[in-house]
């Protein structure tokens, strides 16, 4: 299958080639030349498409003989050499393309492909620095190159800049921790902070820096130990509340635990991992002491900017595991409002509503979700199941049949929430609808389908 980016690139090359032809001053006088160029270009593209790279090279070289200043021809030449792993000639061709037109990302990318495949990371660095101008996400590649060339200082500096603008990906977090855990960065910093705390136990900043350091290594236990020490020395510190939450919870003092939790959540300098841990500890307490669930509702919006975790959804899962369907449905609904693209949360919410036997709401919500996600087969299934349970069989049959195309397109071998068993249940709902509508022919068709699936 041709990928979208390949289609876009092919369109770009044709556009470049077309512009070249249109730029000629006397088209009648050079029609034959243009025909030859066009034929050779299409021949090169065709031969590359069937992986005859040698023949593609011969065809594109004929184009270059007619027009050595066309950057797209040089780029095509470079791609074919690269496919043959002729890295020297590929590099030369891509360099010529860049020299002729340095505003096309594809040409720079060709050079990067050569250097990356040959593991010439030093040469890759200036190329990726140029590619960042086209795509800021290439900064992750630059970090990886710095790591591969042992330029940890530059990598850390770039990571800090990236982190100031958005949350780091798991790979970038790993690189950051790897740098910070190395002897060159971690031991002196940790030892210096510990020594500074001994010398001046009333200086809050040293405790904070040490808590942040441990948190960056995912060592929350050690971070909490430092917070306990801080709480003893400077009880009024916001950071001391990290340990005070646990202290109050152990004393069954939900009111003061709540106050400490919000002190932590309000602190913009507090690491998100610490906030999650404090929140989770309070949640466990609130489940056993439902009068404090109102504080959970107030706390959830503090995590609205968390790009990785939908806290309301996770709280809903927590209640669902405890078979608390009321709270599970309540928090799934909150999670969906926070992230209106979270199809999994919608599906889980509908499952909870089925367990609650609120079939009116099942059908209503499933149809609402279909307006935004008309190809999601699950929403047809849930709407149909709800209508069947409400004995509105015609509505059930119509909506289930509307979703049939998506059931057919589904590949049962793929991983995910749907599998062959799901398809079986889809046809079971159709059979129920047809049986109650006395549509015997269709019932037989769907019954045969069901038998095939059950094999």
Which distant-in-sequence residues (6+ apart) come within 8 Å of 355 by Cβ? 325
The answer on 217 and 146 residing in a single domain is: no
Q: Which domain holds residue 79?
A: 4-118
The answer to whether the CB of 290 falls within 8 A of the CB of 327 is no
The answer on 189 and 305 residing in a single domain is: yes
Long-range CB contacts for residues 315-322, cutoff 8 Å, separation at least 24: 315/283, 316/345, 316/348, 316/349, 316/352, 317/348, 318/283, 318/287, 319/287, 320/348, 320/352, 322/287
Render pLDDT for 94-144 as a digit per residue (tens, 0 to 9).
Answer: 999 888 888 888 889 889 899 888 888 888 888 888 888 888 888 888 888
The answer on 207 and 100 residing in a single domain is: no
Q: Specify the pLDDT at position 408.
A: 53
Q: Specify the pLDDT at position 216.
A: 64
Q: Would you place residue 28 in the very low, low, confident or very high pLDDT band (cuts 50, 70, 90)?
A: very low
The answer on 68 and 36 residing in a single domain is: yes
Domain assignment of residue 393, yes or no: yes
What 3-state DSSP class applies to 389? helix
Render pLDDT for 155-205 as a digit per residue (tens, 0 to 9).
Answer: 888 888 887 777 777 788 777 777 766 645 555 577 888 888 888 888 887
Render pLDDT for 214-244 as a digit per residue (tens, 0 to 9).
Answer: 766 667 678 778 888 888 888 778 777 877 7
Query: Which among 47-51, 206-210, 337-341, 354-358 has the top mean pLDDT?
Result: 354-358
Q: Specify the pLDDT at position 186.
A: 54
CATH number, position 49: 1.25.40.10
pLDDT, mean of residues 414-430: 65
For the chain, how many structural domains are there in total? Answer: 4
Q: Specify the pLDDT at position 434.
A: 94
Domain assignment of residue 357, yes or no: no
Q: Would you place residue 6 in the very low, low, confident or very high pLDDT band (cuts 50, 70, 90)?
A: very low
Domain assignment of residue 124, yes or no: no
Q: Specify the pLDDT at position 391.
A: 96
The answer on 251 and 216 residing in a single domain is: yes
Query: Which among 16-20, 55-59, 203-207, 295-299 has the top mean pLDDT?
Result: 295-299
The answer on 233 and 164 residing in a single domain is: no
Give the tokens for residue 156. Answer: 């850390």
The answer on 201 and 301 residing in a single domain is: yes
- CA dihedral of 396, 398, 402, 403, whole degrees rounded to 10: 20
Domain assignment of residue 82, yes or no: yes
Domain assignment of residue 67, yes or no: yes
Name the average pLDDT for the chain.
81
The pTM score is 0.52
The answer on 397 and 303 residing in a single domain is: no
The answer on 302 and 241 residing in a single domain is: yes
CATH number, position 287: 1.25.40
The answer on 216 and 252 residing in a single domain is: yes
The answer on 268 and 240 residing in a single domain is: yes
Domain assignment of residue 194, yes or no: yes
Distance CA 263, CA 443 (A): 62
A 10 A CB-CB count for 200 gives 12
């Amino acid at each position: 299958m041709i990928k979208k980016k390949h289609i876009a690139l092919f369109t770009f090359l044709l556009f470049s080639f077309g512009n070249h032809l249109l730029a000629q001053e006397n088209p009648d006088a050079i029609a034959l030349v243009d025909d030859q160029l066009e034929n050779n270009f299409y021949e090169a593209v065709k031969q590359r498409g069937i992986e005859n790279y040698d023949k593609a090279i011969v065809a594109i070289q004929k184009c270059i003989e007619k027009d050595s200043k066309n950057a797209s021809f040089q780029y095509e030449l470079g791609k074919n050499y690269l496919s043959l792993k002729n890295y020297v000639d590929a590099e030369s061709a891509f360099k010529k393309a860049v020299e002729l037109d340095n505003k096309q990302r594809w040409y720079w990318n060709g050079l990067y492909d050569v250097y990356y495949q040959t593991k010439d990371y030093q040469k890759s660095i200036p190329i990726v620095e140029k590619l960042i101008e086209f795509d800021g996400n290439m900064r992750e590649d630059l970090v990886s190159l710095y790591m591969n060339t042992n330029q940890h200082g530059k990598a850390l500096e770039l990571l800090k800049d990236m982190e100031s603008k958005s949350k780091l990906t798991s790979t970038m977090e790993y690189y950051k921790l790897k740098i910070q855990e190395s002897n060159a960065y971690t031991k002196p910093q940790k030892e210096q902070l510990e020594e500074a705390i001994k010398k001046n136990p009333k200086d809050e900043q040293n405790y904070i820096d040490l808590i942040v350091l441990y948190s960056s290594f995912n060592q929350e236990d050690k971070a909490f130990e430092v917070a306990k020490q801080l709480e003893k020395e400077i009880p009024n510190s916001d950071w001391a509340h990290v340990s005070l939450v646990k202290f109050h919870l152990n004393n069954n003092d939900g009111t003061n635990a709540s106050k400490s939790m919000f002190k932590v959540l309000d602190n913009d300098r507090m690491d998100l991992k610490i906030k999650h841990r404090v929140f989770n500890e309070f949640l466990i307490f609130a489940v056993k002491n439902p009068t404090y669930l109102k504080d959970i509702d107030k706390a959830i919006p503090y995590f609205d900017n968390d790009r990785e975790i939908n806290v309301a959804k996770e709280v809903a899962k927590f209640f669902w595991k405890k078979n608390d369907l009321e709270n599970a449905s309540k928090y799934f609904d909150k999670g969906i409002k926070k992230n209106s693209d979270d199809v999994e949360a919608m599906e889980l919410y509908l499952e909870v509503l089925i367990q609650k036997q609120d079939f009116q709401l099942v059908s209503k919500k499933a149809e609402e979700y279909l307006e935004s996600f008309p190809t999601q087969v699950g929403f047809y299934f849930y709407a149909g199941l709800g209508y069947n349970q409400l004995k509105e069989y015609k509505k059930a049959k119509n909506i289930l049949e509307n979703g049939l195309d998506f059931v057919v397109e589904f590949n049962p071998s793929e991983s995910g929430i749907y599998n062959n068993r799901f398809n079986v249940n889809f046809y079971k709902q159709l059979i129920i609808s047809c049986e109650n509508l006395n549509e015997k022919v269709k019932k037989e068709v769907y019954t045969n389908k069901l038998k095939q699936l059950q094999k």
